[in-house]
Amino acid sequence: MCGIVGVFGHRPVSQVIYDSLSMLQHRGQDAAGIATSFLNRFYLHKGNGLVTEVFDVASMAKLLGDMGIGHVRYPTAGCGSVAEAQPFYVNSPHGIVFAHNGNLTNVDEIIETVFEKDLRHLNTTSDSEVMLNVFAHALGKRDAIRPTPEDVFAAVEDTHSLCKGGYAVVAMISTVGIVAFRDLHGIRPLVYGQRTIHGRTDYMVASESVALQVDGFELVRDLEPGECLFIDIHGKLHTYKTKLPHTNAPCLFEFVYLARPDSVLDGASVYQCRINMGDKLADKILREWPDVKIDAVVPIPSTSRTSAIEIANRLGIPYREGFVRNRYVGRTFIMPGNEQRKASIRRKLNPIPQEFKDKNVLLVDDSIVRGNTIKEIIAMTRELGAKNVYVCSASPMVIYPNVYGIDMPSRAELVASGKTLDELAEEIGADKVIFQDLEDLKQSVTECAPHLTEFEGSVFDGHYITGDVTEEYLRALEKQRNDATKINEDVTSHITRNLAAHL
Amino acid sequence: MCGIVGVFGHRPVSQVIYDSLSMLQHRGQDAAGIATSFLNRFYLHKGNGLVTEVFDVASMAKLLGDMGIGHVRYPTAGCGSVAEAQPFYVNSPHGIVFAHNGNLTNVDEIIETVFEKDLRHLNTTSDSEVMLNVFAHALGKRDAIRPTPEDVFAAVEDTHSLCKGGYAVVAMISTVGIVAFRDLHGIRPLVYGQRTIHGRTDYMVASESVALQVDGFELVRDLEPGECLFIDIHGKLHTYKTKLPHTNAPCLFEFVYLARPDSVLDGASVYQCRINMGDKLADKILREWPDVKIDAVVPIPSTSRTSAIEIANRLGIPYREGFVRNRYVGRTFIMPGNEQRKASIRRKLNPIPQEFKDKNVLLVDDSIVRGNTIKEIIAMTRELGAKNVYVCSASPMVIYPNVYGIDMPSRAELVASGKTLDELAEEIGADKVIFQDLEDLKQSVTECAPHLTEFEGSVFDGHYITGDVTEEYLRALEKQRNDATKINEDVTSHITRNLAAHL
Amino acid sequence: MCGIVGVFGHRPVSQVIYDSLSMLQHRGQDAAGIATSFLNRFYLHKGNGLVTEVFDVASMAKLLGDMGIGHVRYPTAGCGSVAEAQPFYVNSPHGIVFAHNGNLTNVDEIIETVFEKDLRHLNTTSDSEVMLNVFAHALGKRDAIRPTPEDVFAAVEDTHSLCKGGYAVVAMISTVGIVAFRDLHGIRPLVYGQRTIHGRTDYMVASESVALQVDGFELVRDLEPGECLFIDIHGKLHTYKTKLPHTNAPCLFEFVYLARPDSVLDGASVYQCRINMGDKLADKILREWPDVKIDAVVPIPSTSRTSAIEIANRLGIPYREGFVRNRYVGRTFIMPGNEQRKASIRRKLNPIPQEFKDKNVLLVDDSIVRGNTIKEIIAMTRELGAKNVYVCSASPMVIYPNVYGIDMPSRAELVASGKTLDELAEEIGADKVIFQDLEDLKQSVTECAPHLTEFEGSVFDGHYITGDVTEEYLRALEKQRNDATKINEDVTSHITRNLAAHL
Amino acid sequence: MCGIVGVFGHRPVSQVIYDSLSMLQHRGQDAAGIATSFLNRFYLHKGNGLVTEVFDVASMAKLLGDMGIGHVRYPTAGCGSVAEAQPFYVNSPHGIVFAHNGNLTNVDEIIETVFEKDLRHLNTTSDSEVMLNVFAHALGKRDAIRPTPEDVFAAVEDTHSLCKGGYAVVAMISTVGIVAFRDLHGIRPLVYGQRTIHGRTDYMVASESVALQVDGFELVRDLEPGECLFIDIHGKLHTYKTKLPHTNAPCLFEFVYLARPDSVLDGASVYQCRINMGDKLADKILREWPDVKIDAVVPIPSTSRTSAIEIANRLGIPYREGFVRNRYVGRTFIMPGNEQRKASIRRKLNPIPQEFKDKNVLLVDDSIVRGNTIKEIIAMTRELGAKNVYVCSASPMVIYPNVYGIDMPSRAELVASGKTLDELAEEIGADKVIFQDLEDLKQSVTECAPHLTEFEGSVFDGHYITGDVTEEYLRALEKQRNDATKINEDVTSHITRNLAAHL
């Protein structure tokens, strides 16, 4: 998961992009980057860390120009290489900087069939660098000294033809303009907004609507699946709807966990969707656990709070914030004297003892993936004297890996995979567990956005909308990930040995 | 407000201090520092920024030793100079490093009567540096080559005699041990805990109990007013109760706002105190506003959530998190193109529109100080179509300045000062406002800790427990602050002109 | 002027490149960069400053691989943009990193005719980036998945066809090998050497032979004009002699000033050349100034020492180091209180008073360009009571600009331009001046390397060997430089205003 | 060896101090620091590295005030701890910052007798910190709220009484003034100068006269042994001549090697002294080696050049710079692939082969200490085919350790110690060696400064002028140094293990 933004203004845009990236920081805290364009030059600054750590007065002052793009990166797969932050740059053709959120499912194939032919070099393992080169190659084939909207749209259409997966892209072409597009199934989110100052209209595209508001942009709408937005160098907006087969199937997990509650995605208020999830889950609890006695509804901070409040309301049981999140967890320095440190999750959450002592508690989480967190939390509540610990999840069981840019591990690591409810409850130490039904989850969203009829929910039901993800694919992927990890480790170990020689 | 910690272990303590400071980070995000002691040397690292920003592998590796102290600093008054982070060091006598939380009310007097005589130089405007020198001078007068517990306690007692105000101190004397003490009224909090590993007991003193748990220390108890704790170089704990007049009057504002909910201070669970505040405030609302129709109880994040949940429960009205806090607010670079940026508070909080549209909302805040935040928030809710906006504060009206280490401005800046409830409501744009009664606030705490009979609540009632804060004092203080500001500005302007010459 | 190096080893090369760059540091102290290649990835680190400032343990540890290239940059024209250090990278075709020393005379033409067609973007004003793209384009046209030596040589030959000027280039193609070539007139120097360890041969190409020795490489020979050297990925050396018209005309100024005395360039020991210059200049002095009484021969440090010693020997007059060079001149901070600082040259050189008092001194310089230095030095010697001050230059009068990579200003700034000897003496304050004859200078070199028959000495005689430098060209160049300066200033002023807003 | 400077101006002094430190950089490249004083605050910035590396615009801008002191530190003993750069600060009494050059011979005694009594803590192993505390203690005993010149002088006199050794000190007392003093034997150099601007006189004290000139100060004179200079806060200069027994015995090694040639120390031009050394050594060569055939006189760069030129003149043999010094030697990163690197000295000096091939050369060095350099250089010349290699040293045999601040190892490491000339020649590989006579060396200086009758030349003759250095002392010192090294290594190894755990 990553966050992207692109801005065309009639005034310097570096601060606006910086602000927007701050609002998208929840989508990636690992690295950040901004590229702007002034005359025929790009100005690029990127680095590892939070937006506030990467940018300072000096670096901001150098980001000249009235158009630019930005990116925040999540530490793991889905945004590619740890080696380099985005945006990426290629100088042929025209000069293009490029940032993306998502993941391709056919990278190997693309590299084989296209790159061998096009002789392009990739210096990272990032999908973004692959996509950038596919797009650059497609645009180059147009052989236009000054690309028109048609050239840009044709290149995007070529890119769609070649690239399978879930992705949202923003790119900037030197002296040409800003391009943004979304995959053919609308899996990864992308919205755009505008503001008018002194009669001139500025545009912003961004991963989520919250990025718009901070500097006065108003949400126009989401990009449609496969749609391309192009703002030319004169500030004129062009849009193009794909002629390729497409469907509208946004990622369910954005509503469950990824997006901020104050965002509106594909017409649905994420906050309201989560309230609805609480409603429906409460109904199921009432239905299926008629005799279960619950004293308090306790959210696992922070995402599940919205649903948990509504569950408590619906069940008529007190809502209690039994855990306090520690915002400032520091790192662990491997030094003598650390033997007594607690498990990582216990450094992140502190319980309020009296909310658990002799109580029957219903813990609410947005989802259960690897299960480590919930297991440790349940253990904590037991130690504090909880009588019964029930667990409910605002989303269904996660039992399949994600291949569209969310870091969900192989099936072996998904705690719910291959287990019955009872087996799972035992595994995590709960007295009982209950999960949202998939249909209810979908309805939680469609109640807010009735035009949505399809979703990307493969982690719940194994249905991969791009059609190219087979059992063989998943097995190969797993093996390949291991191999890639090994090569990365090899390089890292080279570097480490070099450093170690100095001690 | 600041956070302090001191640790005596039988193993390297740098990571433990680092962890504790992370847990106290809410008490100060401006600067951080750690000093450790190994053989007869101190190792000190400090800097501006969050704990995670100030310390890295290299700086941590150099913090050798089995005892040490740490500090996090709040950006404004109450922890002293912006010039330098704590701990401070003096080499005479013995070598002492020193960190403190709080504020002295008689600094000028001390400087005049003591420093002239003792010829000590102060290189900052920090109260900490003053106290350190008072303590150092007192210890030096003992003329002990190797100070005994009696020497240390006598020096602390001298320090108490001279220093008026609210303070909690932790200091380390080279090859002697760790000293901690709390002011004669117990205004600023200080607790200690211990853990036993392989039969040997480690000790930690800290501003709040949350700092203890992270590495397995268990709360023993709070230090009493004027009490001194001394852990000698052999790890033996000595305590001393002051012979000077003292009372137990902890700062009410710690319970209202400063402390973490998961802390236990002076025997009272901060979380439970805030629940109690909600209870009592709800009762008052029921009592005084019997006919007011409220559709939703909405907390102003984050502190007021605990009270707000209980208010909603008690009133039987839905609790709604109508505001989403933006954790990652970036800074404003003063550059062209920024004209459209929103007011600062609107960058920090995003409303959920549907929770306000056509609704009667009760906004809950922990306290109302300057009023800027609440005013802007009310304006936001109005823009979103709220029908009626009611405001309640979990603490009474703040109408007097704080002189014990909390950054509360002069009376002129306190929005409630000199206003009736109606005037205040009008000023901030609310339809109605209601405040906790002071007695109810006190009772919210004493219900958790019945042994407490007195409190430092001067910001509410103007009663300053140290007895030396008169109307004249307050007026002089105000003037002096202005003068100090001017000198600081003078120095800053020198520096700025120097830098500017390079552009 | 810049320094370049390329190494193919059978072991990690980062330290070797670092060492070589240290030995070439005199060719550029402004920026430094190294790129290495491991498997199919490049590892690149570059920055502003000396080699020792740019590289540290961490950055060196990441420069993995057994082949790589390096660059040191001179602060002004001749190595291009101040915006970015070399090597430069393009990813199409194959992935190429590239570093160069020199200057093109037909950049505008290249940009117009080639880049419009090839749609490549340039993000700096560096000739290196232009050449890299010309080479990349030429290599791409070969459309070879794995380029053979023939492909590489053809691309180099294309590059020669298009690029006029003086240049020495080293480039690395991912998974293909290292390429090095020298312009068709051999203006800029480029040598190569080898070492054999455990039966396997490593190769190094570098701007000067001193770079070879530091890690045990032995000089094989200079590259010939237009010659290309290619070391393929298996470590096999291939060479190609150009079919294009070419001449061997090395830059005379390398022997006069640029190169280190301990280098051997085009078969000539630079040290010996400078001894010869001293010999011939002494002869001329004896011939033309038979009656001039000289008490001491004093070099202007550092380059002229070698010639000056020989002049003193030949004239039978004591050699005296009357000036001490200050190695550690710091920068000037524009702050109050600096009014009394001396002229910059007086900060760099300290005179020994007794060597000038009442003496007739012969100052020896390698060349006289702008004249500011010598003027200030003469003034200094006058102040110290010198009786007569005579000046001799080991090279002829510099009266034409340089267009092949040496920072020699427009004619208006060359102090000797358009002046007689007497006028020049008056202008700089000398009693008499004398210059080496151009033929003598050439002979100083050919005595060491008899095969050399031609030289690039345009700054002395206005004969530009590339044939494309006309009076119109020089005038246009001057104008263009001014324009470029203005655009740069415009960008800088944007940035400065942004920064200034924060003070 | 270190360099110190102190400036009292009537305008901001940070740039002046910075400039002076640049001119003293040859006395220490390891660390640098500046402290200034504005109103009653000190502003201090120090760090490891060259002056240009330690200070930048931001740090310079903060160094406010019209008086200040500065320091550059040599990497080894003689300036104390590697842990922290100077100046040092103590806050009692008055606030004092302090910097020094030299070494005490009775540190242990001082620590025992004084510090136990005064309870002062030392956080480094630096002699400077010891002296600072001795001085501070002495000044504190005066118990003066505002110390008069008499108070300052009395404290300095006390310091002299207690501290044995060679030292030059500059200190600044907050709101009082600048103090400078020199040891009772005048071992370490200290000069002062002045400049007058707009009728007001600024003062500078510095280790060498070259530091004065850079910003227009003129040398007044050297401080006398035991003399103290005090410039009070109003800019008035006070001087005090010690009543304690004293002699004038400047360190001979300053003239041989340490000082810059363009400095004038104790009235003697260092340049002229070195010319004289060449003269006298040439005479000895003529006398003692009447039949030795020498083709060229070759200096070992850089210090010996001055003497070597004169030797060549006197002998009537050509002077040849057969070695080129590499100014930019980089560091060695311990990484794979470095097996072929040359010995360190060969990285620093490059020979000119033709100056050695089949020649009889006389190598000139200023002194021979450990012998490693000369041994390696002789080997180099042999490899290049030198016929005979003769070596002469401008100073006598170094056979005793230095205890006054010059890093001369224990006798075991001094190559000449206990050897005859023939044994030494054999040891270093020379055909013949010859050394300056001690009397000639002294006369080389006294010819320039006839008032000098005594010198500190213990490294040559074992006569330690402070009278407290016995054979037992030297043996104890050697042992102690080893012990100190072990403790340092212990601490370093702790740190290293901490760091290593992260790889």
Cβ atoms of D88 and D132 closer than 8 Å: yes
Which residues of C fall within a CB distance of 8 Å from A88?
none
Please tell me the distance from the alpha carbon of residue C166 to that of residue C223, in angstroms, as a whole number.
14
Compute CA distances D258 → D188, D261, D270, D302, whole Å: 11, 9, 10, 12
The answer to whether residue A44 is domain-embedded is yes
- Res D5 pLDDT > 80: yes
- For chain A, say whether B50 makes contact (Cβ under 8 Å): yes
Q: Are C126 and C79 in contact (CB under 8 A)?
A: yes
Q: What ipTM goes with this model?
A: 0.93
Looking at every residue in chain A, the average pLDDT score rounds to 92
Residue D407 and residue D444 share a domain: yes
What percent of chain D has pLDDT above 70? 94
Distance CA A339, CA A330 (A): 16
Question: Which CATH number covers residue A423?
Answer: 3.40.50.2020
Tell which of A326, A383, A448, A499 to mutate to test the B interface (max B CBs under 10 Å).
Answer: A326
* Residue A6 Cα distances to A128, A331, B272, angstroms: 16, 33, 47
Q: Is the pLDDT of residue C338 over 70?
A: no
Q: Which helix (H) or strand (E) holds A462?
A: none
Q: Are residues B74 and B199 in the same domain?
A: yes
pLDDT at C275: 98
- Mutate which of A42, A62, A121 to disrupt the C interface (most C C-beta within 10 Å)? A121
Could you report the per-residue pLDDT of B124-172, keeping only the tens digit for each? Answer: 878 899 999 999 999 999 999 999 999 999 999 999 999 999 999 999 9
Q: What is the pLDDT of residues A352-382, one digit of tens each?
A: 999 999 999 999 999 999 999 999 999 999 9
Cβ–Cβ below 8 Å for D329 and C51: no
Q: Which of A92, A116, A491 sits opposite C92 (nearest CB)?
A: A92
Q: Could you read off the pLDDT of B280-299 as tens digits, one per residue? A: 999 999 999 999 999 999 99
Establish if D62 belongs to a structural domain: yes
D503 contact A CB<8A: yes
Which domain covers residue C130, as residue numbers? 2-248
Q: Tell whether pTM > 0.90.
A: yes
What's the token pair of residue D347? 């990285």
Binding positions of D for Mg(2+) are 303, 365-366
- Angstroms from B296 CA to nearest CA on chain A: 12
Residue D56 lies in a domain: yes
- Is C132 part of any domain? yes
Pick B92's closest partner by Cβ from D94, D119, D498. D119
CA distance linking residue B214 with residue B19, whole number of Å: 7
CB D259 within 8 A of CB D251: no
* B335: nearest CA partner in chain C: C498
C-beta separation of B187 from B402 below 8 A = no
> Residues 318-347, chain D: which have Cβ within 8 Å of A?
333-336
Question: Mean pLDDT over residues A129-140, rounded?
Answer: 95
Q: How much is the pLDDT for D362?
A: 98
Q: Are residues B290 and B413 in the same domain?
A: yes
Cβ neighbourhood burial of B326 (10 Å; 0-12, 13-18, 19+): buried
Which H, E and C letters describe C288-303, residue by residue? HCCCCCCCEEEECCCC
Q: Is residue C257 a part of any domain in this protein?
A: no
**For A493, nearest residue in chain D (alpha carbons):** D503
Q: How many domains does chain C have?
A: 2
DSSP C16-37: HHHHHHHHTGGG--SEEEEEEE
Contact A216 B321 (CB under 8 A): no
Between A408 and C50, the more confident residue is C50
- The confidence band for A195, taking pLDDT boundaries of 50, 70 and 90, is very high
User: Measured between beta carbons, which residues in chain D are less than 8 angstroms from residue A333?
Assistant: 498, 501-502
B161 and B289 co-located in one domain: no
- D284, D428: one domain: yes
One domain for residues B214 and B277: no
8 A C-beta contact, residue D449 and residue D178: no
B421 in D contact zone (CB under 8 Å): no
pLDDT tens profile D258-299: 999 999 999 999 999 999 999 999 999 999 999 999 999 999
State the pLDDT confidence band at B335, using cuts at 50, 70 and 90: low
pLDDT at B327 over 90: no
Convert B107-129 to b/e letters by CB count within 10 Å (16 or more is b).
beebeeebbeebbbbbbbbbbbb
> Is D132 in the same domain as D33?
yes
Instruction: Answer whether B500 touches C (CB < 8 Å).
Output: yes
CATH number reported for the structural domain that contains residue D198 in this entry: 3.60.20.10
Determine the Cα–Cα distance for residues D97 and D178; give it in Å rounded to an integer. Answer: 10
Per-residue pLDDT tens for B41-79? Answer: 999 999 989 999 999 988 999 999 999 999 999 865 544
**DSSP 3-state helix, strand, coil percentages of chain D (rounded to 5)?**
35, 25, 40
Residue A500: predicted pLDDT: 65
The last residue of one of the domains, among B452, B471, B491, is B452
Is C206 within the bounds of a domain? Answer: yes
Report, as an integer, the average pLDDT of B325-341: 75
Q: What pLDDT does residue D336 have?
A: 67
Neighbours of C293 (CB within 10 A): 10
Binning pLDDT at 50, 70 and 90, where does residue A194 land? very high
* D81 pLDDT above the threshold of 50: no
Residues 6+ apart with CB under 8 A from C198: none
Nearest to D261 among C66, C331, C352 (CB): C352
Confidence category of residue B82, pLDDT binned at 50, 70, 90? very low
Task: Work out the average pLDDT over A269-296.
Answer: 98
- pLDDT value at residue A80: 40
CA atoms within 13 A on the CB side of D379: 12
Write the residue in A335, A496, A501 that is nearest to D498 by C-beta.
A335
Token look-up 């160049």 returns C477
- pLDDT at position D485 is 66
> Do A240 and A303 sit in the same domain of this protein?
no
Q: Which residues of B are annotated as a binding site for Mg(2+)?
A: 303, 365-366
**Residue C280 scores a pLDDT above 70:** yes
Whether B303 and B443 map to the same domain: the answer is yes
Same domain, A196 and A338: no
Whether residue D256 lies inside any domain: the answer is no
Are C209 and C277 found together in one domain? no
Residue C112, pLDDT score: 84
Q: Which residue of D has its CA nearest to A496?
A: D503
Task: Identify whether A385 is part of a domain.
Answer: yes
Q: Helix, strand or coil for residue B134?
A: helix
Whole-angstrom distance, CA of residue A351 vs CA of residue B99: 29
Chains interfacing with C (3 or more CB pairs < 8 Å): A, B, D
Q: Does B111 touch chain D (CB under 8 A)?
A: no
CB contacts of D501 in chain A (<8 Å) are 333-335
Average pLDDT score over residue span D374-396:
97
Which H or E run contains A20? helix A14-23
Name every chain D residue with its beta carbon within 8 A of the beta carbon of C351: 262
pLDDT at B347: 87
- Under DSSP, the state recorded for D456 is B
In the predicted structure, residue B343 carries a pLDDT above the cut 90: no
pLDDT of res. D500: 65
Q: Is residue C61 located within the same domain as residue C205? A: yes
B273 in catalytic set: no
Q: What's the pLDDT score for residue B118?
A: 85
Give the model confidence (pLDDT) of D297-320 as tens digits. Answer: 999 998 999 999 999 999 999 999
Q: How far is CA C39 from CA A83, A122, A487, C175, C263, in A?
A: 15, 12, 10, 7, 34
Dump pLDDT digits (tens) for C283-297: 999 999 999 999 999
C290 interfacial to chain D (CB closer than 8 Å): no
pLDDT in tens, D159-218: 999 999 999 999 999 999 999 999 999 999 999 999 999 999 999 999 999 999 889 999
Contacts of A45 in chain C (CB under 8 A): none
Alpha helices (H) in D242-338, listed in sequence order:
252-253, 270-288, 305-315
Instruction: Identify the pLDDT of residue C80.
Output: 40
Cβ distance of C92 and A120 shorter than 8 Å: yes
C270 vs C330, which has greater pLDDT?
A: C270
